[in-house]
Every structure is written in structure tokens, then in C-alpha cells.
Amino acid sequence: MLATPFFFSGLGLAALFTRGTRQIHYLYAFDLFGAGIGCGALAPIMPAFGGSGSVAVAAAFGLGAAVLFGFSGTRSGNILRMLLCGGTAGLAFFANGLLPITVTAAKMLSSSRPLLTAWNTFSRIDVFEIPAQPQHNIPAVRRIVYDSGTAVTSMHDMSIGVREYLSRHLDDADYRSGIAYVGKQKPKVLIIGSGAGAQVLDALHFGAAEITAVEVNPIINDVVRNRMDDFWGGLFRQPEVRLVTDEGRSFVRRSHDQFDAIISVHTISNAAIASGSLALSENYVLTREAFEDYLDHLAPDGVIYFTRPEPQIARLVATAREALANRGVHEFAPHFYAFRIPPDDSERKRFGVNRPSFRAGLLVKKSPFTADETRQIEALLGVAQMWSETSVPTSETLYSPFHTSAKSIYETLLTTSDLSAVYRSEAQQLMPATDDRPFFNHQTRWSSISAGMVRELFTERLLGGLALGDRPIAEVSLLVLLAQSVVIAAVLILLPLRGFARAGLHIASDWRFLIYFAALGFGFIAIEMALLSQFTLFLGQPVYTYAVVLASLLVCTGIGSYLVGRLDLEPHRAISRIVPLIVVALFVTAFATPLIFSVALGWTLPFRILLAMMILAPLGVLLGMPFPTGLRLVWLEAPALVPWGWGVNGFFTVIGTVTAMILGMAWGFKAVLVVGGCSYLTALIAVAHLQLIVTKGLDRQRTILGR
């Protein structure tokens, strides 16, 4: 389904590039320029037209191209194409109703119609209401659902006013994030991923003087503060509360404030874990450098409170320990407290008795915990220790500096003098994620994935046996996708070339031409993905990262393609000059960008966007030059290979996307940039060898003519 439109688009572009190779620089320039505009246009189109409507808008542009090329055809054909184009453009306004996106029934949280549905470039948000049950004294609840899945944030009806609500609900146990406020008076609080505002309500209950709530999704912030403010009882309009739309880590790095508590409660999707997709997402909130930033923004007695699924707590402990070590702490154990909320009966029945809990948490204190503080924390959590035979626990301690039982992985991580040895000895990935390798949810080592594991996972997927994401679903999916891409490339490129060769199509040095275009496709996408990762922290919100980085790169590569056509250089000479410049520009960009970001991180968003575009422009212009120059070279020396050059480039872009993700997860994005640079050097070597062959051929001809 997804491949069909791209297959026919590929046919159209390959035909156009083959017929118009003499003007390839200009054709390719406008192709890239249009792609760049499309990336930028997605930001206003998706919110305005939604998912189905945006597809209709894209289809209308494709049909518009058909209209332009069809004027030389029959009148009836022209009329039909124009009607299709206009009809599809009109359909965009009604597509969400006429062509609704079907969501599996297992994913939806409510069968009722949503009160609100809204789109942006990285999410669909639905708001559902669960009616009140007065006979059971249960208030109405509104749930904000992400992407029609099980990621949800909710709030009870507080239309009586948030202050009145708080005055009627005084029990500390009703406010679960209260463990972050033990021993604190009028704390200053930062909440990362505020969602519907449960932690904001907790902070007000415990007397917070200042609450900064950071949420990356602007739709959610608009719902809770504007559209449905009455249901929320004015929660986000309280004088203590400041609501910010930003990526949490990016906000922290730009902030100059000191906080008594930094809180992030389950900013994570159970659906994303169960599908394995979360392992593929970069998470800059959970890297070692992120925890160093949090420590730098904590008051002397401040605390970091994060909740995650239980299998991830050990890695979180390792991350926080390394951050404390980098800030001069040498005795780690007294700074940590970890707990879990045991699965309830329904969860145990569904997933098994011994499954780890989805709900667990970690407290990291800048100064050591006292015994009295841990007792208060355990009282709020309802913890019953192993030595207590009478109490029924609502939570269980995983690690406490004052109550250690059998030696656990947490105690090992906090007391060992050789962390590297512990990392190597554990099957699970415990080494902290970093800003260069920000895949915190990637829990399985690549070396531990076997063919048997692949078979087992596919069997479990078919049987619906997955419960939590403690299996390498995403990693296996990447490997399978890479294998599929390689097989398809071989079938559609290598076999036809071999068949044409048998039919009499003999082209000198055809493999060198194909290596050149393969290296360009692989190198370009590797560089693009690495730059997207680097700019995420600087720009903050995903909508700006993708719109600015992708649009800037594509528009600038289009400019580069146009300029290289105007220069009218001999192709061999042009490539021998351009590719070394690309490698130099890539090296400068990779090493200068972090320094520039650290200086400009506090700038306002418009200036940061402008700076990002200025950084990307020189490299982007250079990246747009080798491909059209190579196609022109092929057109001069082996015209039959022009569509193959285009096809090979496209296939290796796909292969490069998967490989770059795997390399980024395994070795980091700096390694991906190095691989991208090496790919361009490979292309240069292929062309240099071609030039050597041509030069030898010319010398041989001159010798024969001389004789």
C-alpha cells in the first residue's frame, strides 16, 4: 500500500531524468526545492487538514504535475486530469470524515466519540470524557489520548475550581508524586511532560511556590489551558503555575533557574513499548548529559524524581550514578531510592505472575537521603518491607540506602568500583544513553540477537503474546527491514543489469558508476539523520527540527544543484573538487556545531532557527552538487545507465536509513557522520578510477592514431 505511489513516482522521475539529462542540474534542483518546501509546508497543512486531508493535499499536487504534463494530450484527457486534481484538492477539506483512519479496536481506549480531535506534524490527539457515576461518588474524567493508542493522560472533573477541589481532597496519599517534596517547604518545581496536569495538581497540594510545567505537545497545552480550562478548574492559570510548550531537555539547558524538584512521571507509552517502536526514538531527557543538566539546576537539597517501567530502572540508576560522579560525588548509595508498584490482579492474570511492573520510580537526591526522609517516602508510597509480615504493600522498595536485603543489581551499580565490568557482565544494556547515542529504550545488545530470537519474536507477535517491551522487537524489525531492502535491491537492480548484459548491453565500468550513486545515496541519508539528531536539542520541538533541518537541507541541496549547472565544469573535474569540500564541510559542521549550540542555546526560537539554517546552508549546497554532476557524467559516457543511477541512489537511501539507525544505536551519531563522510570518499574513488580508465583509453587511441 505504501510502496505503490512511490513506485509510480519513481517511474515518472526516472523517465524525466533520463529524457532531460542534459538539464539534469535544473531538474534535480527543482525536485529538491519542492521537497524542501513540502517539509516546511507540513507544519501548517497537518493541523489544518489532519491525517487523511494531508494525504489528499499531497495527491492533489501529484495530479497537478499530471495536468502540467498532459497539455499536449487530448482535450478529454486534460479535462479529466484537471477534474481529478480539483476534486482531490476539494476532498482534502472533508477527507477526515470521508476517508477516516481505521484504528485497531485493541488500541482504542474508548468506544465513544471524542470531544475533540486535533493533529500536528508528530501526533494526533483525541479527548474523551468518561461520564460521572454519582451513585458511586466517581467524578467525570477526561482522557487525552495520543495517536489513538494506550498512551493517555487524564484529569478528574475540577470545574468547581482547583482551589476548592484541593480543599476537599486533603489526603497526601491521593497525590503520588508527593514523595519528591519530602522535607521541602514551598518548593520550586520543574515538571517535564506535564500532560493533563496530575503532577501540577500534586505540587499545588504540597505547597509549591513556583511550578514550571513543560509539555512538548502544543495541542495538549491548548486543551488544558484554553479550550477546556473550565473542566480543569483553571489549574494552569494559577499564579504559581507557568505552562511552557517545549522539549523538556532543551528547556532545561536554556534555563537559569534552580529547582527543589525536577519531576517526570511516566512520559512514556505502553503501546510504544509493547510494539517495540520506542527503542527507535531518541530520548534526550534520559541521557547522562541530561542528568548532569538536572543536577546543575537543582538546589543543594534538591531531588530528581523519574518513573519508568521496572526493567529500565537499573539503567536509570547507572545513568544517574555516572552523572553524580561527573559532578564530584564519590559515595553514591545514600543519594538513591527506588520502588515499584506491583502489578494488580488483572495484570498478573494477563501477563503472568513474574512479569516486571510497568510502574516503577527512582529518586536521586543531590545531597544524601536521611533515614527520616526515607521513612516518610515509604509512608507516602505505602511500602511494606520484606521484614514486615502484617502490612499489605501498595508499593515495594527496590533500593533504599537504609534497608538493603539480598544484593541487587541496584546495590551492585551503586557500590562497584568497576562499572564497565558490571555493564559487560549483564545481558541487559545498562550503559547510560548519551546525547550522541540517545536511545535509552534500546535495552538489548545487538550481539545477543540470534536467528532463534527472530523466529521467536515473530511467533509471539502472531500469537499476541507480547506484554511489555522487554524484548528486542524494534531491533529485530530493523534487521529484517535491512535484509528485505538488500534482497529487493538485488532483484530489481542487479538481476536486470545482468540480463541486459546478456542481451548485448555492454557498458564499460558500469559497476563503478553504480558504486558512485550507491555511495551518494547512503552517505546523504546518513548525514541527514545524524544532523536531525544533533539539532533536536537545539531547536526543541520536533515540528521545528524536521521542518527547519529537512527543509533547509533540501532547499540548499537544490540550490547547490542549480549552481553546479551554472558553473558548467567538466564532470570529472567538478566531482574531484566538490567531494573533498563536502568532507571538509562535514568535519567542520560536526565539531563546530556543539560549540555554537552551547553559546546560542539561550537565544529566542526565531534566532535559533536562523542560526540553524545558516549552519546547514554551506553543507547543504555542497551536498546538492555530486548527484546531478554524476548523472551528467553517466549521460556523456553511458546514457543507458542514467535510470539505473537514479534507482541505485534511491535504494541505497532506503538501506542507508536503516543502517544509519542501527549504527546510531550501536555507536552513536558521530560514527554515522564519519560513515557518511567515508561514503562520499568512496564515491570520489569510484569516479577517480573511472577517470583513470578514460585517460588510459584516450592515450591508447592517441598511440594508435600516431602509428
pLDDT in tens, 625-674: 999 888 888 888 777 778 778 888 888 888 898 899 889 888 988 899 99
The reported pLDDT for the residue numbered 287 is 93
Q: Which residues, other chains included, contact 349 with Cβ-Cβ below 8 Å and sequence gap of 6+?
A: none
Rounded Cα distance, 295 and 190, in Å: 13
Question: Quick one: average pLDDT of 30-45?
Answer: 90
Q: Residue 396: pLDDT band by 50, 70, 90 thresholds?
A: confident
Handedness of CA 21, 23, 29, 34 (dihedral sign): negative
Better-scored residue on pLDDT, 46 or 470: 46
In the chain the domains, ranked by start, together with CATH numbers, are 24-102 (no CATH), 161-438 (3.40.50.150), 472-702 (1.20.1250.20)
What average pLDDT does the segment 107-129 reach? 83
- CA-angle at 533, arms to 532 and 538, nearest 5°: 90
Q: How far is CA 583 from CA 535, 588, 618, 664, 681, in A?
A: 19, 9, 12, 19, 8
The separation between the first and the last C-alpha atoms of the chain, rounded to the nearest angstrom, is 62
Please tell me the least confidently modeled range out of 134-148, 241-255, 393-407: 393-407
- pLDDT higher than 50, residue 305: yes
- Model confidence at 12: pLDDT above 60: yes
For cell 533504599, the residue is: 400
Q: Provide the pLDDT confidence category of residue 92 given band limits of 50, 70 and 90.
A: very high
pLDDT at 40 over 90: no
Distance from C-alpha of 115 to C-alpha of 522, rounded to nearest angstrom: 45
Conformation bin of residue 77: beta by default, left when phi > 0, alpha when psi is -120 to 50: alpha
Q: Which of 624, 598, 608 is nearest to 527 (CA)?
A: 624
Task: Check whether 392 has a pLDDT greater than 50.
Answer: no
Task: Using the structure block, give the residue that is written with the C-alpha cell 553514591.
Answer: 332
| pLDDT over 70 percentage in the chain | 86
How much is the average pLDDT of 463-479?
64
Is residue 25 very low, low, confident or very high in pLDDT (cuts 50, 70, 90)? Answer: confident
> Residue 503's pLDDT is what?
60
At residue 256, the 3 state secondary structure works out as: coil
Confidence of residue 506 (pLDDT cuts 50, 70, 90): low
Rg of the chain on CA atoms, in Å: 29
Q: What integer pLDDT is reported at residue 58 of this predicted model?
A: 93
Least confident of 210-219, 268-277, 569-578, 597-606: 268-277
- Please state, in angstroms and rounded to a whole number, the distance separating the CA atoms of residues 24 and 134: 71
Cα 459 to its chain centre, rounded Å, is 27
Whether 160 has a pLDDT exceeding 60, the answer reads yes
- What's the rounded mean pLDDT across residues 137-143? 91
Query: Does the pLDDT value for residue 274 go beyond 60?
Result: no
Which range (183-197, 446-460, 490-504) has the least confidence? 490-504
Q: Give the count of alpha carbons within 13 A of 617, CB side only.
A: 7
Residue 316 has pLDDT above 90, yes or no: yes
* Residue 8: exposure state from Cβ atoms within 10 A (0-12, 13-18, ≥19): exposed
pLDDT value at residue 639: 79
- Furthest C-alpha separation in the chain: 109
How high is the pLDDT of residue 452? 78
Kindly report whether the global pTM for this prediction surpasses the value 0.75. yes
Q: Would the pLDDT of 693 be above 60?
A: no
422: CB partners within 8 A, 6+ apart = 412, 413, 416, 430
- Average pLDDT for the chain: 84
Beta bridge partners of 692: none
Q: What is the pLDDT of residue 501?
A: 62
On the question of pLDDT at 261 being above 70, the answer is yes
How many Cβ atoms from other residues are within 10 Å of residue 215's Cβ? 26
What pLDDT, on the 0 to 100 scale, is given for residue 446? 77
**Residue 360 to residue 315: CA distance in whole angstroms:** 13
Q: What is the mean pLDDT of residues 355-372?
A: 90
Residues in the chain: 707
pLDDT at 345 over 50: yes
- The pLDDT assigned to 706 comes to 59
**Of residues 648 and 82, which shows the higher confidence score?**
82
- Share of residues in the chain with pLDDT > 90 (%): 43
Residue 363 sits at φ, ψ, to 5 deg, of -110, 130
d(CA 385, CA 388): 5
Q: Which residues contact 372 (CB under 8 A, 6 or more apart)?
A: 183
The C-alpha cell at 127 is: 479527548
Of residues 347 and 444, the one with the higher pLDDT is: 444
pLDDT of residue 302: 96
pLDDT band at 115 (very low <50, low <70, confident <90, very high): very high
